[in-house]
């Protein structure tokens, strides 16, 4: 491709417009594409649960089908097709969107591609807890030949998808990213420790994640309870909501943990991360978590577990420590080491500042734009 890039009409289909990790990545992508001059529509098959004023200010059209129930889902591809006919290319994120969105694009005769964010198929279940592994594998196999490309956010996902019948030649790796400059500006907001009831001289551990079994909030709570007996006034702050929140709150009550804060959903996450001495994610399943990338962008040291592409993220940025998943003792030792050594925290923060450039949103947006351009032109898939 030569000359100035063309301005394209792009439809991004997702399950919801929300504050979850995959949805946050899609929002960054939508804003970046629009600011680059493309015409972008962000369409949720479900609902919109967050403020979209910033997306709209960036020029993104945001809409929702509010699909509920089996029969409405069966009609969703035809509704999506109406939006797809206005676009030149359709991109889909998340199950069910990668099914209904691709079918809508096929009906509208538009090239389509998907991004895979799965932390592992074992975590993808129905609202009643039934596994979706076989259904997802089947629709990936059947729709692959009608899909221009499958984008993976973690290299480890490549083998999973090829095992489901996706052609390796149609898979491309584009890591998640965040708008670093914007997040750093937001981090200078008005939130301070006093407003959260956190002593200035305490050590603050923060986890930004939805409350789910694989995110490990219980591990964090137990770890901090132990560290308080050895290294002093350590506080933990949980940011997020989810099905497991009540369980973790009950454990906090059992531990008499008045040093644990539950903040729920927040719009000022960058400013909160700035207050933390370390951001943690002791997860048992991830793709490439946005929460850790955001912390690294702010300059907050991180401690994560060796799942998905977390080790690669931490080692490539030099921003933290990675331990074996499920090893609560190793996680505790890492927390003690980082919290107990101000000079180590300073080195990790410096590493974060220097290593985050590869995960800045314009890099990600530029790569997606190249793939969209190739899809529209029926050109070979770019490699990065």
Short-list 254, 249, 225, 227, CA closest to 238? 249
- Distance (Å, rounded) from C-alpha 6 to C-alpha 37? 9
Asked whether the predicted pLDDT for residue 1 surpasses 70, the reply is no
CATH class of the region 181-358: alpha beta
The tokens of 96 are what?
């069910």
State phi, psi for 64 to the nearest 5 degrees: -140, 140
Alpha helices in 64-208 (DSSP H): 69-84, 97-108, 133-143, 157-163, 180-186
For 105-150, write each residue's pLDDT tens digit.
999 999 999 999 999 999 998 888 899 999 999 999 999 999 999 9
- Distance (Å, rounded) from C-alpha 281 to C-alpha 303? 6
Short-list 179, 185, 232, CA closest to 205? 232
For 295-334, write each residue's pLDDT tens digit.
999 999 999 999 999 999 999 999 999 999 999 999 999 9
Q: What percent of the chain has pLDDT over 70?
A: 99
User: CATH classification of 9-177+360-376, choosing from 3.90.1150.10, 2.60.130.10, 3.40.50.2000, 1.10.3720.10?
Assistant: 3.40.50.2000
Can you say how many angstroms the Cα of residue 275 is from the centroid of all Cα atoms in its chain? 21
How is the chain split into domains, by residue range? 9-177+360-376, 181-358
Mean pLDDT of the chain, nearest integer: 95
How crowded is the C-beta side of 119, counted as CA atoms within 13 Å? Answer: 20
Short-list 257, 197, 192, CA closest to 221? 257
How buried is residue 303: exposed, middle or buried, by Cβ count under 10 Å (0-12/13-18/19+)? buried
pTM: 0.92
Q: How many C-beta atoms lie closer than 10 Å to residue 130's C-beta?
A: 9
Encode 155-171: b = buried (16+ Cβ within 10 Å), e = exposed: ebbbebbeebebeeebb
Per-position DSSP letters for 209-262, written without gaps between them: S---GGG-HHHHHHHHHHHHHHHS-EEEEEE---TTHHHHHHHHHHTT-TTEEE
CB 153 within 8 A of CB 176: yes
Asked whether the predicted pLDDT for residue 3 surpasses 60, the reply is no
For 332-349, write each residue's pLDDT tens digit.
999 999 999 999 999 999
Range of weakest confidence among 23-37, 154-168, 278-292, 348-362? 348-362
Rounded-to-5 percentages of helix, strand, coil across the chain: 45, 15, 35
What is the arithmetic mean of pLDDT over 364-379? 97
Say what the pLDDT of residue 353 is. Answer: 84
Can you say how many angstroms the Cα of residue 130 is from the centroid of all Cα atoms in its chain? 23
Q: Could you tell me the maximum CA-CA distance found in the chain, to the nearest angstrom?
A: 64
Q: Which residues lie closer than 8 Å to 184 by C-beta, 6 or more apart?
A: 270, 297, 298, 299
């Amino acid at each position: 491709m030569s000359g100035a890039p063309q301005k394209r009409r792009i439809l991004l289909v997702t399950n919801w417009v929300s504050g979850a990790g995959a949805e946050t990545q899609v929002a960054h992508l939508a804003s970046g594409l629009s600011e680059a001059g493309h015409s972008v529509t962000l369409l949720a098959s479900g609902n919109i649960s967050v403020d979209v004023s910033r997306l709209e200010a960036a020029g993104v059209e945001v809409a929702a089908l509010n699909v509920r129930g089996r029969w409405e889902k069966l009609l969703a591809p035809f509704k999506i097709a109406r939006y797809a006919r206005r676009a030149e290319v359709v991109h889909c994120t998340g199950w069910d969107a990668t099914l209904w969105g691709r079918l809508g694009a096929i009906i509208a005769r538009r090239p389509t591609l998907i991004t895979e964010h799965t932390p592992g198929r074992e975590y993808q279940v129905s609202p009643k807890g039934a596994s979706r592994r076989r259904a997802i594998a089947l629709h990936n196999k059947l729709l692959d030949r009608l899909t221009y490309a499958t984008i993976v956010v973690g290299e480890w996902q490549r083998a999973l998808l090829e095992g489901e019948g996706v052609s390796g030649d149609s898979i491309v790796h584009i890591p998640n990213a965040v708008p670093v400059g914007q997040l750093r500006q937001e981090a200078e907001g008005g939130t301070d420790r006093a407003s959260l009831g956190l002593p200035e001289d305490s050590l603050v551990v923060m986890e930004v994640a939805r409350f789910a079994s694989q995110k490990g909030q219980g591990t964090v709570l137990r770890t901090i309870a132990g560290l308080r007996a050895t290294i002093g006034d350590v506080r933990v702050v949980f940011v997020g909501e989810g099905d497991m929140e009540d369980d973790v709150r009950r454990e906090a009550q059992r531990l008499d943990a008045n040093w644990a804060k539950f903040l729920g959903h927040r719009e000022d996450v960058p400013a909160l991360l700035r207050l933390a001495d370390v951001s943690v994610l002791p997860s048992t399943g991830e793709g490439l978590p946005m929460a850790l990338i955001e912390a690294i962008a702010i300059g907050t040291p991180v401690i994560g577990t060796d799942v998905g592409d977390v080790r690669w993220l931490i080692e490539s940025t030099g921003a933290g420590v990675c331990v074996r998943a499920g090893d609560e003792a190793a996680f505790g030792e890492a927390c003690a080491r980082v919290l107990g050594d101000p000079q180590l925290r300073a080195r990790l923060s410096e590493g974060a500042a220097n290593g985050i450039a590869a995960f800045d949103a314009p890099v990600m947006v530029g790569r997606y734009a190249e793939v969209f351009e190739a899809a529209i032109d029926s050109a070979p898939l770019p490699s990065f």
